[in-house]
Amino acid sequence: MARRADPPAVPALYAHVQPGLEAVAADEITRDLQGEVKRTDRGSVVFRLDDITPDVLKLRTTEDVFLLAWGSDSLTYKASDLETIKRWTAKKADWANLFRLHHAVRPKTKGKPTFHLVCQMQGEHGYRRVDALDAMADGLSGFVPAGWVPADENAWLEIWLTINGKTAVCGVRLSDRTMRHRTYKTDHVAASLRPTVAAAMARLAGIGPGMTVLDPMCGAGTILAEALALCEQRRIREVRYLGGDIDPNAVFCTGQNLGRRGGIEPERWDSTELPVARRTVDRIICNPPFGKQLEKPENIPELYDNIVAEWDRVLKPGGRAVILVSEMDALKEAVRPHEWRPLKQMRVRVLGQAAVLSVWQKD
C-alpha cells in the first residue's frame, strides 16, 4: 500500500502594524487568536496559528496580514540581491499550499481570478524597486496559473515583496483595505485617527463591564467605534460611552459614522468645561490636537493644562487615561499637578509624525 502523503505544513504569517504598536498587536494575536508570536520587528509581527481561518481577518490593531512565503535578513544591498530574490521566490515557497490557504480565507468571486504583484522598498540599494519587482515576477514564473489576469487594483490575490534595509519578506496578502480603513468610517475630519491606532488605544484602556468611557475630543468618532467593537467582541456589557467635540462638523461626522450603535449620541462641548459630573468616568481615551493642527502651536501647553485639569475632575480614582500626543513634554507638565501615575509609554508614528501613546492611572 502506498504511504499517504503528509498534509502540507501550516506556514507562518506576518502582520504589518503601525510602528510602535507591535506589542499591542502581538497581544491581540496571542489573546484573541491563540497564536504564537515568533518575532517582532519595527512595523511587523511574525506569528503562527494551528489553523488558518477567516478569523485572522478580524484582527483590529494590524494594517495587513500575510501568509509568509519566504523571508531573509541577509540582503547585501547590491544588484546581486536580484538573483537571490528570484531564486528564493522560485525555490523557497510552497506556492500551491499558499494559494490553497488564501482561497480558503478569500473565496474567489465571479469571473476570471485576478492577481497583483507589489513591491515596497526602504533604504539605499544598488537596484530600483521595479527591478526587485521584476525579480520576484521572474521567480513566480510557472506558479501563477495561466488563466489568472493581472490587475492593478482590487485584485483577488496579491503577492507582496517588502524590502527594508537588509531584510526582505515575501508573502500572500490575506487582508484587503477594509482591515485598515473599516467600513463604518464613511465621514472624515482633518487628521482623523487611523482605526488601527484607535483599536490599540481601546485595548490599552482595559475597559470592563459597567464602566463609563469618555472621548472628550472625539473627531470622527474612531476611538469610540473601536472601543464599542472591542466590547462587543469580548461581550463586555453595560458600558456607557460619552463623546463630544468643540467642532460641530466633528460631532456630525461621529454621528454619521456611529449611527446609534451602542446608544452613543455625540455632543458639542468644550473639553475644558465638560457637562460631566465629577468622578463619574472610568476610562478616558483621547487623541488631542497636535501642535501643527492649531493656528498657534505655542498654545499647546496651556491647552493641555486646561484639558488635563478637567479630565482629572471627571475621572474616578483608580481610573485610567490613554492619550496620544506629539508634544509629550507638554503633556507631562500638564499631568504633574495631578495624582496620575504613568503605566505605559510607546513611541509611534501617526500620519508620518512622531508621537507618543501613553497610559496613565489616577491614584
pLDDT of residue 182: 86
pLDDT at 1: 45
State how far the alpha carbon of 187 is from the alpha carbons of 199, 213, 255, in Å: 18, 22, 9
Going residue by residue through the chain (363 aa), what tens digit of pLDDT does each one get?
Answer: 455 556 678 999 999 999 999 999 999 999 999 999 999 998 999 999 999 999 999 999 999 999 999 999 999 999 999 999 999 999 999 999 999 999 999 998 788 899 999 999 999 999 999 999 999 999 999 999 988 999 988 899 999 999 999 999 999 999 998 898 888 877 777 667 899 999 999 999 999 999 999 999 999 999 999 999 999 999 999 999 999 999 999 999 888 888 867 678 899 999 999 999 999 999 999 999 886 555 466 789 999 999 999 999 999 999 999 999 999 999 999 999 999 999 999 999 887 789 999 999 999
How high is the pLDDT of residue 336? 96
Cell numbers for 55, please give them.
Answer: 478569523
H-type alpha helices, 122-194: 129-139, 178-181
Q: What is the pLDDT, as a whole number, of residue 260?
A: 66
Distance CA 21, CA 349 (A): 9
Is 0.95 topped by the overall pTM?
A: no
Q: pLDDT, tens digit, for every residue of 274-302?
A: 999 999 999 999 999 886 555 466 789 99
Residue 52 is predicted with a pLDDT of: 96
242 beta partners? 214
What is the DSSP annotation of 87-128? HHHHHT--HHHHHHHHHHHS---SSS-EEEEEEEEES--SS-
Pairing relationship of beta strands 167-173 and 240-245 according to DSSP bridges: unpaired
Q: How far apart are CA 47 and CA 36, in angstroms?
A: 5
* Interacting residues of 132 by C-beta distance below 8 A, sequence separation 6+: 81, 82, 85, 119, 121, 125, 161, 163
Q: What is the pLDDT of residue 291?
A: 61
Burial class (CB in 10 A: 0-12, 13-18, 19+), 31: exposed
In this structure, what are the phi and psi dihedrals at residue 123, rounded to the nearest 5 degrees?
100, 165
pLDDT of amino acid 263: 75
- Residue 357's nearest CA partner among 319, 320, 318, 328 is 328
